Amino acid sequence: MSEPLTYPAPVLRDERTRMHYVPVPPEIADALGGAVRVVATVGDHTSRRAIQHRGGGGFMLVVGLTVLREAGLAYGDTALVTLAPDPDPDRIDLGELADALAADDEARARWETFTPGRQRSMAYYVTSAKRPETRAARAREIAHKLATHTLWGDRRQGA
């Protein structure tokens, strides 16, 4: 499946998690051939995203408030959504994290052991900051925590 699929969808909000999302109809999800990572255009905003399963069945594309603002959309609006399989689903935009990992062999070695999803999560934490100083500080923080095994979820020694 290489041709993008376009459909109208309401901007909804999950009241439990407070996340905004647009539903992905089952026929669209099926036509994407099981692709989880997609290039999504919601309104005028294009980004790489993941199609997620909704509790109780169905699929959704989570869209944050920044995406909605940039697309000129709000809760309750109808968005024109275009989805296409991501041609490089494992690509991760590292930003400032690339330099921090290059400077620390232990951090880079541990980084390489993580799944693309976990790497993407850490990279997003770094690249989502608005100020360059904050991105650099977060990159150093992640590299330090990788090297010292102090990431959230790391088991404490002797515990």
Pairing relation of β-strands 78-85 and 5-10?
A: antiparallel
| Segment 46-73, tens digit of pLDDT | 988 889 888 777 899 999 888 898 889 9
With beta carbons less than 8 A apart as the criterion, state whether 82 and 45 touch.
no
Q: 5-85 architecture in CATH?
A: Beta Barrel (2.40)
pLDDT for the residue 93: 85
| pLDDT at 44 exceeding the cut of 80 | yes
CA distance 133 to 29: 39
Q: Is 122 exposed, middle or buried (0-12, 13-18, 19+ CB in 10 A)?
A: buried
* Domain range list for the chain: 5-85, 97-148
With beta carbons less than 8 A apart as the criterion, state whether 58 and 23 touch.
yes
pLDDT for the residue 159: 47
Contacts 24+ apart (CB under 8 A), 102-108: 103/143, 104/143, 104/144, 104/146, 104/147, 106/146, 106/147, 107/142, 107/143, 107/144, 107/146, 107/147
| Residue 10 tokens, joined | 């309401």
With a pLDDT cut of 70, the percent of the chain lying above it is 95
| Residues comprising the chain, all counted | 159
pTM given for the model: 0.70
| Segment 117-147, tens digit of pLDDT | 889 889 888 988 889 999 999 999 999 999 9
CA distance 100 to 93: 14
Q: Report residue 103's pLDDT band, with 50, 70 and 90 as the boundaries.
A: very high
pLDDT for the residue 20: 93
| pLDDT at 156 exceeding the cut of 70 | no
